[in-house]
Structure formats: C-alpha cells, structure tokens
Structure 1
Amino acid sequence: MGLVCLFLPTDSSAFEMHEDVTQNTLSTGKMNNISRMEKKREWSLVSMFLVCLLACILTTAVAALIFSLVYVKNSQPQSDIQFRPEARPQQTTVIPIMQKAVDPKFQFLNHLPKSKVFEFPGGAIQWARYRSSVRDYLSDEEEAFGTSLNSKRSQMTLGTLRIKSSGLRAPHWHFNAHEHGYLVQGRAWIGVVDHGGKVATTYIVTAGQVIFFPKNTLHWIKNVGNEDCFFLLFFSTHDELQTLDVDDVFFSTPEDIASRSLKPEDGINFIRTFHKQKEDQGVNLPPNLADLVMDASYVQSPDRLVWKYIFDLKGSKEYRFPGGIIQWAQYWKNGSELNNNEKIFSEFVNQHQNALTLSTLRIFNNGLRQPHFHFNANEMGYVISGCGKVGIINTQTTIDFNIHIGDVVFFPVGTQHYIKSTCDEDLLFILAFSTEDQLHTLDMDDYLHATADHILAQLFFKKQNEFKKIPQFQEDQAINLP
C-alpha cells in the first residue's frame, strides 16, 4: 500500500505532463494549420494581383499596338483616295472652304442694293440679316456680314420695305423681335392691335417719323399716298426673324375651327369662299382693289394711344455740332426737354426689354464723326444720302472702307469707330442702337482730356507739357470740321 501511495503522485504528474504535451502538440498543430492557411490565402491574393497586373499590361500593350497601327495608316499618303469617285465631292467641298478668303471689312459692311429682292404684288423687301442656312446668302460677303451680326449677338436685323401706292403690308406679328421703322418717303396708315383686341390704334405717319411695334404685336402698314412708301426697318434680333401673316394663319386653320371661332353667316360655307392666292401676299395689292374696297376710312386714334407707337424724329430737338446734326428717338432718363408726346414714346420704349434706340446722323461735307465707342449698345446704320469713309478699331483688327447710298454698317459694342463725309452733299445716316435705355458713348477727345497728362506722357513716351497742345473747346466736337 505504501508503494502504491508512493507512485501515485508520480503517475499523476506523468499523466498531467502528457496531457499538457498533448494539448501543446494540438495547439501547435492548429497554429501550423492556421499559418499554412494564412500563407495559402496570402499566396492566393498575390496570385490574383499578379494575374490582374498581367492582364492590364497585356490590354495596354494591345491598345498601344492598335493605336500605332491606326496612326501609321492615317499618316501615310492616301493617294488612292484621289481616284475614288465617291471621294471627289469631299475634295470639292472642303478645298474651297479652306481657300475662301473674304475681305474682313464685310464683317461690318453690307452692300444692301446687291442683295436679293423679295418681290410681292404690292412692293418689295430686302434684308441685311443672319440666315440659318448658308445657301440663302447670295455671296460670301453677305454671309460674312450675317455671321458677324449673329456671332457678336448684335440684337439687330435690318430690312428695307417698299410699298406701292395703295399697297398693304399684310397684318402680321414677329415672334422674336421688336420692330422700329423710319419712313424715308411717302405717307402710310398704321394699325396696331393690343392684347385682347379691345383697342386698335390707327394713325398716319409721314416721312421723317419713327414707328415702334413691340414683339408679338399685330400690326399693318398701308400706303395712302401717291408715291411709294420706303421704310427702313430695324428688328431687335440677331437670329433669323420669325414672322406670321394673318392670311397664312387663316388658311392654315381648319375650316370648322375657323367657322366656330368667327361664327359668320352661312357658317362653314362662308369660310369655304376664301381662296389662298398663289403669290405671297406679304405686301398685298389686288388688281381689282377698286371693286373690293368701296369705303376706306383712315382714322387717327387719340394721342395717348398713338404716341406710344410713333415718334416725330424729324420734328424733334436737333443736337448741333460744328460738323453736323444728330436727332434721337430714345428713352431719356431726364425728359424735361421732351414734349408730352415724346415723353409717352420715351417711357413706352423703355418698358420693353431689348427695344432699340433710333437716330439720324447728318455729317456736313468734310465733316467727321470723331472716333468713339458705345458702352451699352451695338450700332447699325443705313446710308440714305452722300458718301463717306468708315474706320473701325477692335481687338482683332483695324479696318477702313468707303460707304455709299444703300450700304449698311455694323459696329459691335465697345468697338471704336469713326465716320467721315467725303462727298459734296451731306452724309445722312439712319442709326439703330441695341438698347432700350439711354445710350452711353465716349469720344476720343473726351477720354484723352479726362486722362491725366502725366499718365499720357508715361504711356506715349512724350513730355508731359506736350499734351497742353491738345485744346479743349467749349462747343462739343463730336462731329467736327477742320
């Protein structure tokens, strides 16, 4: 028994040691397994990375090879294209465009008398304008002018309208522009219909007066004199003008819709008695007019209505200078010098965003409208009489050219320009400016006098006292004489 007791502790210790060893062995095995698994996982990640890297390298190499082949192919002389019939039209269309050279002056000058004449039974229209299709231009020079108006966002288009005696510019409206007109000759009866059709304002205009039709206002013009009416019309858009005539609207409306809207005697049968003419009636003059119209009346509406749409530019205040005269149909912030009718027009124009300012500029023989620019407007002008020379300086170029009757000029905002009379007779312009606000202008003599002498001396490398030689006159020299 004593022996048993003696050896029991020894066996127990041995068992415990064996158990510990077994547990350590198992733990070590697990750790080894985990380590092997982790190494295997790391190897898998490394393998995936290497595979992706290899794929990227191969893809890049293939792409570079394709790009190189394409580049080499395109850079080789393609002499065979010259002999392929389908390629010849491409050469004929591309080469002229590359070789086409237009005098830069036609960005600013349009010889309107050379443009297309749109003939109608009652008159004719010509345009100095932008056209969305280049095929509608008659010449590269006309295209250059139209493109210039559009690219510089001029907000101006010009048209001439000639109406024969008793002819009628059909009732119409413009979707995208206000219209300002100057009557050069003749006598016309104007009609304007306001919103709702409650008021139709009618009045007579004579040569030297200005008319104004806000955008989307229905209006008509009828010649009630013995001679042709000749209008200069300015529109406040540099895009293609969009216009709708009343006869076109009527014939585009379904008969039943027109009948239900107008409710005439005989209903739809009456509507069916209307027949669209083959010839465009934009300016209308039926050959049997005497049989159609028995009792025409030309009513003058009250002044409070009429003078919103008309301005007597010829009878307005003359701003006189040594070398010429300027008159204005515009908004005046200080209207103290305006009469009641002129105030009505001034305020009405200012209410319409993107309306225009009109002016006449008369330059005496050898007179000079000195170099100047406008802060807040593009300028467009039409030569009514005389001849002259124009100079333009902008950031790209300096250009000068001669002008004659019927020519149209365009001066972008901020562009310095001058106009000199070179004929024995006065040079007379009708000018339009793209602002409904009062025009802001700066002349060369004004900005040089306003600049300190020491600044001018430093700028021009000229002694300061030399600039005392530039005199200041009490009389404004905007249009001067030698």
Structure 2
Amino acid sequence: MLLKIFALGVIVSSTFVHGAPTRTSPERRQDGDNPPFRGSTALVGYNPTNTLTNEDTDDIEFEFAPGQTADANIGQYLNFEDIENPQPIRGSRGGTDPGPQTPEYSRLNPDKLAPPGTDHGQTINAQWPMGLSHVKAGIDRAGWSRQENTQVMPDAKAMAGVDMRLEPGAYRELHWHVAGEWALMLNGTVRIAAINEEGESFIDDVSKGDVWFFPPGVPHSIQALDGGAEFMLVFDDGDFSEDNTFLITEIMAHHPREVLAKDLSVDISAFQDIPAGELFIFPGTPAPHNISEQNVTSSTGPITPRDSYSFHWSEQPAHRVEGGSIKIVDPVTFPIASNFAAALVTVHPGAMREIHWHPASDEWTFFLSGKGRATLFTPPRTATTFDYLPGDVGYFPQSNSHYIENVGDEDLVFLEVLQADRFSDISLGQWLGLTPPQVVIDTLNLSPETVSKFPKEKPFIVQG
C-alpha cells in the first residue's frame, strides 16, 4: 500500500486493505474548501482512514417487571410504572434497547414494548388516545371539542367519535349532520332541542349517563346548564368531521339577505348584525331552570314519547354478574336510534370482558376509567395486544375476536357501541361449552374434565 500524508489531507492509492478492495479516493479537500454543511466526497464508502467507534451497548442498566422473564406465551400483563428503563424483552424473546427512546410511552403501552408471545404480525391500529387529538377551541373560553375519525384511525370506517365540553350556559350552535349522532353524557347537564320532518318539536334535559340520538338531517341545539357539561358523540360514519357540519351561521351568511328576508317574513334590515360565519361553541344566555318556558310547538305538537330523541340511561339499573356489571341500550328500548346499540360495561380488578366477537357490526369502544388491555385477533393468524387508559378509543372490526381485561387496581369502565338493531355478540366460552364435548376434546387436545367446566350460559364478564 502506498500512503502519502499531507498536513491537511490524505491521498490513498491502494487496491486491497486487509483483503478488501478499495476505491482510489480523491485528495481530501481543505476544510475551508468544503461546501457548507457537507463533508468531503472522500467520506463516501470504504477508506482505510475511516474511524470506527466501538461503543459497548451491552452494558445497559435496567430491571425486569414481575412476570417479564416468564414464558412469553403466558402473556401476563407487565406493569412498568415503577420499573427503571423498561426493555423490549418477554421471556426468551426480544433484547435490550440502548435508545433513543421515551420511557413514558413504554410505561403507558407495555404490550407494545414487550408483547405477549401469542401476538403475531400486525392487525389494524385498534387504539387512539383522544389526548392526542387536536382540540378545536370555542369562542371566549366557552368550550372545546376533539375528534377521532379515519384521519387518525384509518381502519375505523364505521364510526367516529367527538369529545365535547361546554362551559355553563355555552351553546353548540344550531346545526345538523349527514351522519346520525348518538351521544353519552359524561358529566354535567345539557338542554337539547330539535324538530323532525313533520315539524314536531322536542326538548329535554339530560345528565351524566343519559343518551340522546339525532337522525341524519335533523337540526338541533345543545346548551350546557349550571356547572357545564362534557359528552361523547358517536357518528355512524368513520369519515365524519366536525368541520363538515351544517351550521346555522354559515347558512345565514351564504344566502342573499333578500332571500333570507323573504323566506323568514322579516325586513331585510333584521340581518345587518348576523355573524359573518361559524360560531361553533360560544357563550349564551343561561337557560331558564323551568324547561317548560322554552317549549315551542307547531300545530303538529311535540314528538311522541316513542320517537323521543333522548333516553335516560342513567336511571336504568345495571345487570350485575361476577366480576362486574353491564347494561344495554339499543333500538329494542330506544327505537329512534334504529342502528345504534350500546353497552356500558364495568369490570372489576382482575376480571375481564370475555373473549367475544360481534357478527353484525364493528365495535367502537370508549374507555371512561381504569386500565385495560385487549388482544385483537384477525384471521388467519394475526394478533396484536393493545393497552387502554381513560380517554382512549378502541376499535374492533366485525367478527374479529377480542377481550378487554382489567389490569389495574380500580374498576375498568368502558362504552361499547355497535351499528346494529340490537346489541349482540358471540361468546367463545359459551360456544365451546355448547359444542359436543368430544368435538372440543379431539380438536384442542383438552381433557374431559377441562371441557366440562366451560360455561353454557354467556358470562359477559369473567372473574380472574
């Protein structure tokens, strides 16, 4: 090898170094001749003067969570909350991560960092934290909204959600949607009002735990009462966006005032101070405590109770089972919401919503409290485990099996919403319990004693 060394540069002329072919590199430029921000062209590819670092990445200080070194297929929930430097290791699988990393993400999503050995491939993304959604702010601190739709969960095509807050007296301005709007009150009280195609009017006050539904095209308003309110809206279109709502302000702003005056039988001067555009959420005059003061009807009268747009779900007792409770509202009891079926589920610590699937609908889930996890299984052999916290949205496609396990130390409460004319699911346990035992024994290589314990009645929730 011929090596010529200059004060500020190196010329290499060689064919082999340690048995490896090399290119003849051009003379390295003087530092002052380098283009701004770029290195010398002599840095491209192999050069015997290259400097290699030998950093030891095996010497990483970390600790294991309880159960982390057990067989990966056991899949025990790993609590990383108090673990120093969590690592992507499960049983004999994985390895250390020298970084870069954000440990907070690992602690929030342990099953993403160290998935059970039973996970395989990658299903759709079945999790979205509403806390990562962009907030749309109302006027004069009157409230806000944030949404989940196919922009953030591309495969959640059947339903979308909007979390909305109204301060006391604030309005969600008069509007309507192309999609149907189903809502669960999360806290506080609001007054809702609407009319249908027959000109029948509707007004009601709903509070925490109550439900309303407005069909597509039905115009309505929402005003928070004393104390303000927050509610979760679910729409029957995954592409739904709050930015595509039909607003009364925009309708008025984009029609000739001569037309408005003629249509509403008033003088054209009446419209000189109307808003130039969207109000969205804005402060208003507090509603009277006596709701009858705001009752307005036409000759057709109010909407009949059967067609009412509200359902006082908060007053319905929950059905209690070992491990938690469940209550259902669907068109059987709330007919106007003809394609919305929902369950409010409470799961005690250590218990879980059983392995199940919905034959007729995707499932849109909102987590209200507690800590949960779920494995989504998609045929033929894809499975992904997700972790959920309050404010998260879960999404499980039609007929894809899943469970929801309480992995915290307080009750896990979540809302399941289906696009169906009644709430229904298939229970894995009940299916196996009602299948001829020998079929199950021969198929799964289980003992008769084990198969005899499978439930013949649907448990909904199973206690761990």
* Fold similarity call, TM over 0.5: yes
**Do the aligned partners of residues 274 and 468 (structure 1) sit closer, same or farther apart at CA in structure 2, a change above 3 Å counting?**
closer
Partner of 1:218: 219
**Do the aligned partners of residues 305 and 478 (structure 1) sit closer, same or farther apart at CA in structure 2, a change above 3 Å counting?**
closer
**Do the aligned partners of residues 270 and 106 (structure 1) sit closer, same or farther apart at CA in structure 2, a change above 3 Å counting?**
same
In 2: Cα distance, 1:468 partner to 1:239 partner = 44
Partner of 2:378: 394
**Do the aligned partners of residues 306 and 169 (structure 1) sit closer, same or farther apart at CA in structure 2, a change above 3 Å counting?**
farther
Checking the alignment, whether the CA contact within 8 Å between 2:363 and 2:416 is kept in structure 1 is yes
* SS of residue in 1 equivalent to 2:291: coil
Partner amino acid for 1:169?
Answer: R
In 1: Cα distance, 2:426 partner to 2:395 partner = 18
Q: Deviations over 1:376-421 (max 9, x none)?
A: 1111111111111111111151111211111100011101000111
In 1: Cα distance, 2:463 partner to 2:290 partner = 49
Checking the alignment, whether the CA contact within 8 Å between 1:377 and 1:439 is kept in structure 2 is no
In 1: Cα distance, 2:428 partner to 2:188 partner = 38
In 1: Cα distance, 2:461 partner to 2:214 partner = 31
Partner amino acid for 1:165?
Answer: P
Partner of 1:130: 150
Q: Tell me by how many angstroms 1:274 deviates.
A: 2.4
In 1: Cα distance, 2:208 partner to 2:316 partner = 13
Checking the alignment, whether the CA contact within 8 Å between 1:186 and 1:207 is kept in structure 2 is yes
In 2: Cα distance, 1:365 partner to 1:307 partner = 39
* SS of residue in 2 equivalent to 1:215: coil
Partner of 1:445: 429
- What are structure 1's unaligned runs of at least 5 residues? 1-102, 132-141, 333-342
CA RMSD of aligned residues (A): 2.3
Q: Tell me by how many angstroms 1:375 deviates.
A: 1.1
* SS of residue in 2 equivalent to 1:405: coil
2:135 pairs with 112, 117, 121, which one?
Answer: 117
Q: Tell me by how many angstroms 1:214 deviates.
A: 0.6
Checking the alignment, whether the CA contact within 8 Å between 1:378 and 1:434 is kept in structure 2 is yes
Partner of 1:7: none
* SS of residue in 2 equivalent to 1:424: coil
Partner of 1:159: 162
**Do the aligned partners of residues 468 and 239 (structure 1) sit closer, same or farther apart at CA in structure 2, a change above 3 Å counting?**
closer
Query: How many aligned positions are there?
Result: 332
Instruction: Provide the TM-score with structure 1 as the length reference.
Output: 0.65
Q: Tell me by how many angstroms 1:457 deviates.
A: 2.8
**Do the aligned partners of residues 183 and 420 (structure 1) sit closer, same or farther apart at CA in structure 2, a change above 3 Å counting?**
same
Partner of 1:108: 126
Partner of 1:362: 346
In 1: Cα distance, 2:322 partner to 2:367 partner = 21
Q: Deviations over 1:303-329 (max 9, x none)?
A: 834862111212114222101111111
Checking the alignment, whether the CA contact within 8 Å between 1:201 and 1:306 is kept in structure 2 is no
Partner of 1:237: 237
2:156 pairs with 142, 149, 154, which one?
Answer: 149
Partner of 1:298: 291
Checking the alignment, whether the CA contact within 8 Å between 1:393 and 1:399 is kept in structure 2 is yes
Which has a greater percent of helix? 1
Checking the alignment, whether the CA contact within 8 Å between 1:203 and 1:306 is kept in structure 2 is no
Partner of 2:337: 349
Checking the alignment, whether the CA contact within 8 Å between 2:182 and 2:235 is kept in structure 1 is yes
Which has a greater percent of strand? 2
Checking the alignment, whether the CA contact within 8 Å between 1:190 and 1:220 is kept in structure 2 is yes
In 1: Cα distance, 2:209 partner to 2:429 partner = 31
Partner of 2:391: 406
1:285 pairs with 283, 286, 301, which one?
Answer: 283
Q: Tell me by how many angstroms 1:331 deviates.
A: 2.3
The structure having more radius of gyration, on CA atoms, is 1
